[in-house]
Structure 1
Amino acid sequence: MSDITTEGKAGRPPVEELVAQAVEAERYSEPSRLQKVGDHLKREWQLYLLLAPMVIWLVLFLYKPMYGLQIAFKDYSIFRGVAGSPWIGFEHFERLFESEQFLRAIKNTVLISFWSLVIGFPIPIMLALMFNEVTNALYKRTTQTIAYLPHFISSVIIAGIVITSFSPSMGIVNAIINFFGGESIYFLTKPEWFRPIFVGTGIWQEAGFSSIVYLAAIAGVSPTLYESAVVDGASRWQMMWKITLPSILPTIIIMLIIRIGNILEVGFEMVILLYQPATYETADIINTFIYRQGLQAGQYDFAAAAGLFNAVVAFVLVITANAISRRFSRTSLW
């Protein structure tokens, strides 16, 4: 038997050699990974053509500028350029944490984001639940349109509406206060009023549009669950708490993780339009601090350090929130 295996029969090649030849032939007959990728690109080239503008935009405007982040660690000079400016290590970051203005900006950013999250995050969910309970189609479409509309209005116009509404001379808020015998208040010059006005404006502008995500999640709930609940005698309130909310909980968690990741990204445009030196105490945020230091004062390296700090903290928050969510709810972004 060993002679047959090693030498073959009647001059045939050994069995091991035949097997090796078969494996080699099969390997060469199968397309390589590069060939598979090429075939896929030829087959789906229209989709990749549509995707190309977005990929180019991401590379040019999001990834390529990251090369300039190194100025946060340099004594940057516009005449020497990014590569020619000398390294100074973490000096800008030391200045940041020694700056009372930056620490104040962090405090204001966290407080505004915290109240926007605590008050503003549940409101779109409640709006979606209420819209889902409306049975009159015309009334439902009308209320949804009214709720969505502020999202599509420019921030400049929204800021103009807020400034006019809280104006001490012609604002409707002060008109109501005067009607009940009170004195006019110049709200936008009072530091203690900036955060409530800003948070309330953000909720009014975005709550309706944000509810679309939850409405889409509710639409995906199986109708058989509601039918079974009706047979069991459940009320609409019980179905909302026992069926609708648990069914959209994964969507709520995903949106919460995204909001936590953006906790340091307060609406820059609205703050710029509404704040003034009198309200810096409670209105100055990280992005406005970067704007003043970078564009107005020309300290590009110092502003880059603040921006890099902001980005790193946001990254850590997203990773942490995602890990906690994955561990305790088995729902996560990745």
Structure 2
Amino acid sequence: MTDIQNIQNVSDCVPLYLPHSLYLKPLAKMTISVSLPVNKTGKSISHLDVMEKLSAALKPDKFFVLKASKSTLEFIRFEAELEDRKKLRSATSRLDGATLRLSGFSESFRVRAVEAKDDFPTRHDWDSFFRDASNMDEMKAGERPDTIHLTHLPIRWFCPRHMENEENVKPSESIFKRIFEKFGSVRIVDIPVCDPYRNKMNADINGMKTFSYEHGVLFEAYVQFDEYVGFVRAMDDFRGMKLVRKFVDKTQAININVTFDKTKHLSDAQILRRERVRKRLIQKAQTEEEEREKKKKDELERQERERLRFLGSQVKCQ
């Protein structure tokens, strides 16, 4: 499930990269907990019924996303999202403390609603991580706060426009780099799916952290800045945002994951390791191809000898 959403409200979108009609839009998430009645022996509680009641309580506003994330004997927790962040505070206040009445239950269901906690890393998070990490050298690229790891990115939003409808299309590293150059000088980018040998490398160097993605739909990428200020600008701009793509006939959005790299993925040492492994894999593939060609040639020569032997025996018989 890619979770690409069609949206209507684009008034709060801010440009990310206009040549590809890419924008950022503020998230408007809330967490809702519905307490269940104590006396419910033998009665089942439909999540759908509860969601319908929550939707009714939210009017005149509407949920953009509403889904159950946890269910226990005491409560049901929902993750919700509105399309307009400006309405989040009033919507949360409207739901928090409300009571729901469901058919078949004499007791009310009490609702608690809060704005969802932002788990986006802060400047303190990355500064303290690299300061305290004994295996990092902040004088070296990739071992300091300079590299961003992004996941859940739609492939077709980052490929050349004329290739968007082609099969087996890959995202463009050059386009991806240009997008992030607005924040500062980019030293290097890496999109693992663009490397045909990457999935044959060990997990500690291949940079492929997301194995559950739909094949050919989503990708992950790394971008490393030359200077700390570029890294900070990019992190600050992506904080609390979703990614938006405007099309001629529609506008779509997707919640992406953005964090700082903790694995030295774009350190010189890791880049060199991948290059060495890639060369070995290429050599191995070439050797295997040469062996296949040799076997094919040997088989053709064997067949030709058999043919000539057969023709020779036919002549003798005459």
What interval of TM-score do these two structures reach, taking the shorter chain for normalisation?
under 0.3
Greater strand fraction, Structure 1 or Structure 2? 2
TM-score (normalised: structure 2):
0.21
TM-score when normalising by structure 1: 0.21
Which has the larger Rg? 1
Q: Which has the higher helix share?
A: 1
